[in-house]
Amino acid sequence: MMKPWKWFVYIIECLDGFYYTGLTWNPDERMEQHKSGQGSKFTGKHGFKKLVYLEEFSDLIEARNREKQIKDFSRKKKELLFKSE
């Protein structure tokens, strides 16, 4: 039996204080990509400080919808999301 896919929505704090929200199926590998500057143009420009939020999903469509929702959050609302954990 195949292992079910898991999807993750994450928020990274950048070196200059900006937040980046993304989606992946392999958080460890994706964080390494961001740390090396190869994860995205945004984190390549703003730098990687740390992962501040990670949310797991079993459905890709749900994960994409959540990523879009979080991207639309204000900075304060994003901070409330990960500081409440």
**What's the angle, vertex CA 49, arms to CA 82 and CA 57, rounded to 5?**
40
Q: Does residue 2 lie in a domain region?
A: no
pLDDT at 84 over 90: no
* Predicted TM-score (pTM) of this structure: 0.92
Distance separating alpha carbons of residues 84 and 34, to the nearest angstrom? 24
- Indicate if the alpha-carbon torsion angle 30, 36, 39, 43 is positive or negative: positive
Quote the number of domains for the chain: 1
Q: Given this model, what pLDDT does residue 2 score?
A: 62
Instruction: Summarize the confidence of residues 49-59 as an average pLDDT.
Output: 97
Instruction: Summarize the confidence of residues 62-77 as an average pLDDT.
Output: 97
Q: Which domain holds residue 60?
A: 7-83
Residue 57's H or E segment, with its range, is strand 50-57
In this structure, what CATH number is given to the domain that contains residue 22? 3.40.1440.10
Q: Given this model, what pLDDT does residue 55 score?
A: 97
- Mean pLDDT score of the chain, rounded to an integer? 94
